[in-house]
Amino acid sequence: MNRPDFGLGSWPARRARITPDRTALVENDRSLTYAGLADRVERLAGALARRGVRQGDRVAYLGVNAITVFETLFATARCGAIFVPLNYRLSPTEIRYMLDDSGASVLVHSGDTAGLVAAAGALPDGAVLTTEGDLEHAIAEGGPAPDTAVGLEDPCLLLYTSGTTGRPKAAVLTHGNLTWNTVNQLAHLDVLGSDKALCIAPLFHCVGLGQITLPTLFKGGSVEPVAKFDPGTILARIGEAGITSFSAVPTMLEMMWRHEDWDRTDLSSLTCVLYGGSPVAERVAQAWLDRGVKLLQGYGMTEAAPGVSMATHEGTLDHPVAAGVPHFFTDVAALGTDLTPQPLGGTPAELLVRGPHVFGGYWNRPEESRASFVDDDWFRTGDVVRLDEDGWAHVVDRVKDMIISGGENVYPAEIEAVAVRLDEVDACAVVGVPDPRWGEAGAAFVVLRPGAQLDEPRFRAHLEQHLARYKIPKHVLFTDTLPRNATGKIRRVELRTLAAETLTNGPA
């Protein structure tokens, strides 16, 4: 029986037949053509199959962005198995939990994570491969993988959510989910086979894989995975290599803008920079736009593989921090009070999404999966969104982050956006704390720029110029830093705990 050419399981070999001599991946002094990538993927898939990896099995990967991540991803998919990229910044306990939860039978890891693997008490020796030694040996000794039918409906990837509100759960993304997300990206963007993209965002996160990276590989361009983000190194690489595109999270964009090399870096080769994962301060977005960079915000989530909407080059100047318009094969709606889909409009409401790129559920979480959908196929994003008159979307906040104070809905993101307009404010996060009079009240954690001075009365006065009084946080706490996860999102659970500890006597 011939294996259908569907999904990522067959993609490398098929792509190699179209442009075999083009460069697919670049890492330091090493590069791989599409033909070379196809050969190594086939050999690694054969090696995994000889180690007992079969269709539906899980193969985990732990390490920084590297060519080996792509090789392992495609080889796993070639076997019909499921790839599980893990966050190398997690604790041994968290890694152990994900390995157990996914039921991974093989773990591939880089040498610099050996201590983490050992502390996690990972898998039996025969099921653990290091990228520096075992993986190369397996590829050298490998042969063709057995024919395996891989369809668009088959699972390809388990991506663990950030776990900012509890234990992480894995979204199951199929080959079809990833394929349709790529199609959506290509309908929205002009990605070329001559593009040179940096893969900066971590590959255990949906932004790292789904935005820029897989679409560029699909078109036959080259992708350069970046092991560790350093703003100066990235700026230098853009000029040296003629980088055309990359995706990032807002904190990365801000760090590059603030770097001493920003003004003297040649950014003229950049045709598109995408960002997502969390809102960006308007001053940061404007700084990139002022340099002539085509900066676009993409909005999405792991469960949508990840794209839901994206800005357009034509509209970005008028909407510098808006989340754009829906992708071509994406339906959006608002969750009505009767928990049914309603037209999305100017009134903030929870966003519903459906489309062929939207996942079917969480790994081994049937009840949570069912609770995530209404009318069978509309996914509840948990994000509050409103539309401008021209149809551009603005993400107001997370439903779970909303503060209900005296019966009024208060959205922390709105307050935070106003707070960072102050030149002295580097970052701000607002969380709700119990209040005996209002039910909940806001507590603002404020980080100042180095050398800046700002007192609470002036901070409050600034907020009062732009916000209704009921939105002004009752408590203001100045701090040196905000707790963030690997993708730059603020860990609000930790801030709520910190607020409770700091306000020891309770709200006045």
How far apart CA 114 and CA 85 sit, in angstroms, is 16
How far apart CA 307 and CA 325 sit, in angstroms, is 11
Please report, rounded to a whole number, the percentage of residues in the chain having pLDDT higher than 90. Answer: 67
In this predicted structure, the answer to whether residue 8 has a pLDDT above a threshold of 70 is: no
Phi then psi dihedrals of residue 129, to 5 deg? -120, 130
Helices and strands (DSSP H and E) totals, the chain = 16, 26
Better pLDDT: 373 or 412: 373
Length of the chain equals: 508
CATH class of 401-502: alpha beta
Query: pLDDT tens digits, residue range 228-282?
Result: 999 999 999 999 999 999 999 888 898 999 999 999 999 999 999 998 876 677 8
Residue 171: CA atoms inside 13 Å, Cβ hemisphere, count? 23
pTM given for the model: 0.83
Better pLDDT: 485 or 30: 30
Residue 1 pLDDT grade (very low, low, confident, very high; cuts 50, 70, 90): very low
Res 42: pLDDT: 94
Res 9: pLDDT: 53
**The pair of three-digit structure tokens given for residue 407, joined into one six-digit string:** 């019966």
Residue 119 pLDDT grade (very low, low, confident, very high; cuts 50, 70, 90): very high
How far apart CA 60 and CA 127 sit, in angstroms, is 10
Res 166: pLDDT: 56
Are 223 and 216 within 8 A, CB to CB? yes
Query: pLDDT tens digits, residue range 401-434?
Result: 888 787 677 888 889 989 999 999 999 999 998 8
In this predicted structure, the answer to whether residue 72 has a pLDDT above a threshold of 90 is: yes
For 1-151, CATH number?
A: 3.40.50.12780
**Cross-strand pairs, 448:** 425
Res 158: pLDDT: 98
Better pLDDT: 215 or 434: 215
Residues 280, 286, 292, 294, Cα dihedral to 10° = 30
In this predicted structure, the answer to whether residue 227 has a pLDDT above a threshold of 70 is: yes
In this predicted structure, the answer to whether residue 19 has a pLDDT above a threshold of 70 is: yes
Are 410 and 384 within 8 A, CB to CB? no
Residue whose entry in the numeric block shows the structure tokens 């190398």: 88
Better pLDDT: 107 or 399: 107
Please report, rounded to a whole number, the percentage of residues in the chain having pLDDT higher than 70. Answer: 94
Spans of all domains in the chain: 1-151, 401-502
- Our measurement of the distance from residue 342's CA atom to the centroid of its chain's CA atoms, rounded to an integer in Å, reads 28
In this predicted structure, the answer to whether residue 504 has a pLDDT above a threshold of 80 is: no
Of 385, 478, 465, whose CA–CA distance to 424 is shortest? 478
Span 377-404, average pLDDT:
87
Write out the H or E segment, with its range, that includes residue 477.
Answer: strand 475-478
Query: pLDDT tens digits, residue range 278-295?
Result: 667 788 889 999 999 989
Write out the H or E segment, with its range, that includes residue 134.
Answer: helix 134-141
Residue 468 pLDDT grade (very low, low, confident, very high; cuts 50, 70, 90): confident
User: What does the DSSP assignment read for 145-213?
Assistant: PPP----TTSEEEEEE---TTSS--EEEEEHHHHHHHHHHHHHHS---TT-EEEE-S-TTSHHHHHTTH
Res 7: pLDDT: 56
Res 372: pLDDT: 94
Res 340: pLDDT: 93
